[in-house]
Amino acid sequence: MPTIFDVAQAAGVGVGTVSRVLNDSPAVSDSTRSRVLAVISALDYRPSSLARGLSLGTSNIIGAVVPTVTHPSSMERLHGVLDELGGSGYDLALYQVEGEEQRSSRIRDIVRPDRCSAGLLVSLRATPDEIFLMVRAKRPVVAIDGYIEGLPGCHIDNVAGGRMATEHLLALGHRVIAFVGDVEDDLGFNPGAARFEGYRAALRGCHVPLRDDLIKTGPSCRERADQLTGHLFDLAEPPTGIVATSDTQAFGVMAAVRSRGMEVPTDVSVVGFDDLELAGHLGLTTVRQPLYESGVLGARMVLQQLDGHRDGLDVVELPLEVVVRETTAPPNNGSALYGA
């Protein structure tokens, strides 16, 4: 691999000049610049990012910290990040965290200038200590999905989302609506709790009493969804609609409903949350949150800070939208009367 020295020699100039050409310094005559450029492309020279980083005091890597990379929603966000980072010259390093200590250690990593020039925290919360670490490092870090005090980022209004899902069902005439929630992950991140608040608020708004027996929470694996949902239909007054805390959870609910010989939406309506690609495939009515867009925006914010544009950076709230598909319909019995 040719070095900047080789280029300088071949072009008959000093390395300083080559460096200036590389970094678009205006202090280079046009003739010299074109001569150097010619040699660069002739030699297929590319500056060493290691040497450049050492000299500049920072790497060209943006570190993304993500819990459970396999979750479809994380991937969607990451996809946005990668697309936006595309031609930026920055590479993305992916750090997976599965526990509190790992998170701390990864946060420490991404604020080290020799590791990363900036960081992205996806669907994560942070302790005051960790926040202090990031702020002190004075390194751009943005939070994608999940508000972290002191950091710019984007997130959604989960309370509003839960309300929208519930109100959709309410508007269709449902009055017995169950809530199937997720459990908090290992890192204490739990959007489901806020969505539940929205569910509660929506019911209150329609003067529908909250019934504890209609509220189920558990991990979204199939067996649990089965149990969770199953119990719901053993009730004296079973739900005609179900708000699930995520699309994944909703899929489990749908499978459980069907396994009991019932039909969606004929016997029961189901609303999800996220609008994963699969939700479209399976016709799930859901609250869409801009997953891909959150990644694009987060990456853009980081890039802006890296360019020195510290202005206009803030915490932005992304819009939500109910996408009505085929898993919701008006209740097919007189249950609307009960709750009224």
Partner DNA sequence: TTGAAAGCGTTACCAA
Partner DNA sequence: TTGGTAACGCTTTCAA
Binding site for its own copies (CB under 8 A): 1, 46, 48-51, 53-54, 59, 61, 63, 69-70, 72, 75-76, 78-79, 82-83, 91-96, 112-115, 221-222, 225, 248, 251-252, 255, 259, 277-278, 280-283
Other CB atoms within a 10 A radius of the CB of residue 205 amount to 12
Task: Compare residues 82 and 315 and give the one whose CB is closer to its own copies.
Answer: 82
Q: Which residue has the tokens 């009960």?
A: 338
User: Does residue 19 bind DNA (CB under 7 A)?
Assistant: yes
Q: Is 5 in the site for DNA (CB under 7 A)?
A: yes
Closest distance of CB 140 from DNA, Å:
18
Nearest approach in angstroms of CB 36 to its own copies is 20
Closer to its own copies at the Cβ: 129 or 212? Answer: 129
Distance CA 317, CA 48 (A): 39
Q: Position 88: which residue type?
A: S
The reply on whether position 22 binds DNA by CB under 7 A is: yes
Question: CB within 8 A of 10, min separation 6: which ones?
Answer: 39, 42, 43
Give the N- to C-terminal CA distance of the chain in Å, as an integer: 77
**CB under 5 to 8 A by kind: which of DNA, its own copies, none does 17 bind?**
DNA
Q: How far is the CB of 169 from its own copies (least distance, A)?
A: 22
Distances in Å between the alpha carbon of 22 and those of 10, 113, 256, 277, 296? 15, 22, 61, 42, 28
Report the number of secondary-structure helices (H) and strands (E) in the chain.
Answer: 14, 12
105 contacts DNA (rule: CB under 7 A): no
266 binds, among DNA, its own copies, none (CB under 5 to 8 A by kind): none
Shortest Å, Cβ 103 to DNA: 24
Query: Of 318-337, which residues contact DNA (CB under 7 A)?
Result: none
Closest distance of CB 259 from DNA, Å: 58
Burial of 234 (0-12, 13-18, 19+ CB in 10 A): exposed
Peptide bond into 265 cis (omega under 30): yes
Q: CB under 5 to 8 A by kind: which of DNA, its own copies, none does 31 bind?
A: DNA
Residue 31 CB neighbour total at 10 angstroms: 8
Q: Is residue 29 involved in binding DNA (CB under 7 A)?
A: yes
Binding-site string for DNA from residue 46 to residue 85, where x marks contact by CB under 7 A and - marks none:
xxx-xxx-xxxx----------------------------
Count residues contacting DNA (CB under 7 A)?
33
Please say which residue, 61 or 253, places its beta carbon nearer to DNA.
61
At 19, phi and psi to the nearest 5?
Answer: -60, -40
Contact 16, 5 (CB under 8 A): no
What does 92 interact with, of DNA, its own copies, none (CB < 5 to 8 A by kind)?
A: its own copies
* Partner from DNA, its own copies, none binding residue 201, C-beta < 5-8 Å depending on class: none
Phi, psi of 190 (to 5 degrees): -155, 80
